[in-house]
Structure 1
């Protein structure tokens, strides 16, 4: 076993895993980096706005404990009904906004299985609604269960992934909510602007996309304020997300409720110029099960020689404990998946040069593309701080 193939940072992670006795694929969290990212994120949030942590990107209760404390927020955005129930138990004082419209049966399931907790949905939970039809199904549910549901309306500010696009439709939905005051309460708007900056600059500049999104949001907000003027100070005007959170750092933004989460761990999908100061804080780590010189596929040797002979990048072959992860190799830097072998969840094949040779029981490190799927795949998260594993955090069970 050796650390020579890794840069010092990953050599230290490898040593930490060995010392802790981990010997299977796992996800590693750099706690110090995560904490620094929290400081960077909170510095972007104007005092007049509230930070709402996006739970799907941070689906680990102990992680949320720490992040909510460091960010001084109880506001969460939740995307999955089983996690909604778990959150109501674990964080009974939280303020929750659904991040996508739930099927009415999912909403019904939540109320029927909430159980014994002092979390009060009538005060602490906002259901996201995108159409008049869904609003009507929620109203019928509220009547049937004799509950009062807080309703946040999804608006389309340019992403075109759903939500209200027509001012007249918004007006009609607001009037429906007002007429059903015993069962529905208007709580705000949510407009997600992830498209800003992703549209090629030759098509439209970032400033133009951002200004258009804000103008659309402001127009819908004006309608809502006119209909519910008595609630204007308490309404949740939610938006942003990690890709655009840095753009909403002034009072000129129409938002008062800013969502973000993925930037705190920074998978490869968030290697964006607006997040350049944030550090990658999670890594997939897998032991090397097998290592040898050359690359040899099943079948006649001449085929492997033809495909790989004389290629420095194929001088060494490795099989990892597990595979088919959604991520990119980050250490050793010149090792790459060998796609000729095919996809394997059991033992994945990688290739690399002799100059960065790994041995059996060394570790391969990858950066996940995003945190929201990866954090639920590996069981307990290995929490590394100052060069050693200091804790293991279990993700949500579903």
Structure 2
């Protein structure tokens, strides 16, 4: 080999090695902050050394106050989304803090649980239920119990089916028409079809009680402002169709928004109410710029069952050291009680799900660097990606008041 070729080749190898080192994952990790250390201590004193959903009441109250300030300033009533806060006492806290009696419900089962507890509340269904479920609610709850419920209608067929059920049972039908404002998940998109549905409902003596559009796609669009303007145009067109049918818009619910977009509506909207649920507890999927002032107020706490100082790969033990050298965040292994939740590790910082072991709902493995020193019995915290069904997986919710676990809030029965 010529000397020049040798040096060029050697230089290339050095450059390649330097480039590879730049790709090497940085070592991360830190033990619990004071906040999570205090929370872990409170859970230990309460004897909660098992998978537990925790709500920080102080953070929840602060989120309620911030959201109320926004909607009050805009003069927009708020409808609380029950599926995102599926606990009677949690709903009580949010409804009281918001000064609202409006609920959005997404299943017949949850509606049947809430109707006896809040018979005077104003209910709007958040999705169109199968006709048999509509009938089941009437038959189970009774005719008088469903008078304050607006049923979501998304197609002419569902309207005709609901009309038939209402007539057969002798109950009035409050029909809220779902309109497609750009999400394209269903609902009336064609103005002619919407106008025909309105005409058909009036002819059948059904009450057009509202319009509902959902716009969570807006902040994810290349031009959110343009996307939001398009949703407003869709609302305006639908309102125009109702006015053309001589309906009194002031007496009709025009529901819009959701946690990702309610603050856009607060800056200007044709809706006359907004819906919010998840933002009150702010799971990880709701880290939007418009919600930056809100704090995560719900966490999963679970104990470490087993800890390894040198996490080995099954069947590939000789390669474990090389892996740990390359990614120092795989050196330590922590097997937790439970797992495979819709959540991400929150504390200690630097924990990650094992990419090699995969997910597990029994004893999930989280790995970390030697900066994380946990032993069996220590608590790991995860932040839920969403609330909804996840809140129903742990039994009673532990309520942290800043110092101790002060209360236990039962959840609603499991429902889809």
CA deviations over 1:19-78 (Å, ceiling 9, x no partner): 101011011100110111011111111463210001111111110011111100000000
Say whether residues 1:240 and 2:257 are aligned partners.
yes
| Structure-2 separation of matches of 1:75 and 1:119 | 18
Contact kept? 1:24, 1:287, Cα under 8 Å: yes
- 1:92 matched to which residue of 2? 119
**Normalising by structure 1, what TM-score?**
0.94
Contact kept? 2:353, 2:359, Cα under 8 Å: no
- 1:55 matched to which residue of 2? 82
CA deviations over 1:345-378 (Å, ceiling 9, x no partner): 1101111112121111110101100011210111
| Structure-1 separation of matches of 2:246 and 2:83 | 31
Say whether residues 1:175 and 2:199 are aligned partners.
yes
- 2:6 matched to which residue of 1? none
- 1:121 matched to which residue of 2? 146
Structure 1: which 5+ residue stretches go unaligned? none
RMSD, aligned α-carbons: 1.5
CA deviations over 1:166-214 (Å, ceiling 9, x no partner): 1111111111111111xx2110100111111111x2xxx1111111110
Match 1:256 to one of 272, 275, 285: 272
Say whether residues 1:190 and 2:216 are aligned partners.
no
Paired residues in the alignment total 384
**Normalising by structure 2, what TM-score?**
0.90
The offset of 1:310, in angstroms, is: 5.7
- 2:189 matched to which residue of 1? 165
Instruction: Tell me the SS of whatever aligns to 1:187.
Output: strand
- 2:13 matched to which residue of 1? none
- Listed as ranges, the matches of 1:204-283 within 5 Å are 205-229=223-247, 231-250=248-267, 252-283=268-299
Match 2:170 to one of 104, 129, 146: 146
| Structure-2 separation of matches of 1:310 and 1:99 | 49
- 2:412 matched to which residue of 1? 396
Structure 2: which 5+ residue stretches go unaligned? 1-29
- Listed as ranges, the matches of 1:6-45 within 5 Å are 6-45=32-71
The offset of 1:227, in angstroms, is: 1.2
Quick check: which has more Rg, 1 or 2?
Answer: 2
Mark the CA change 1:334 to 1:227 in structure 2 (over 3 Å): closer, same or farther: same
Instruction: Tell me the SS of whatever aligns to 1:280.
Output: coil
- Listed as ranges, the matches of 1:315-330 within 5 Å are 315-330=331-346
Instruction: Tell me the SS of whatever aligns to 1:148.
Output: coil
CA deviations over 1:203-244 (Å, ceiling 9, x no partner): xx1111111110111111111122143x32210000100000
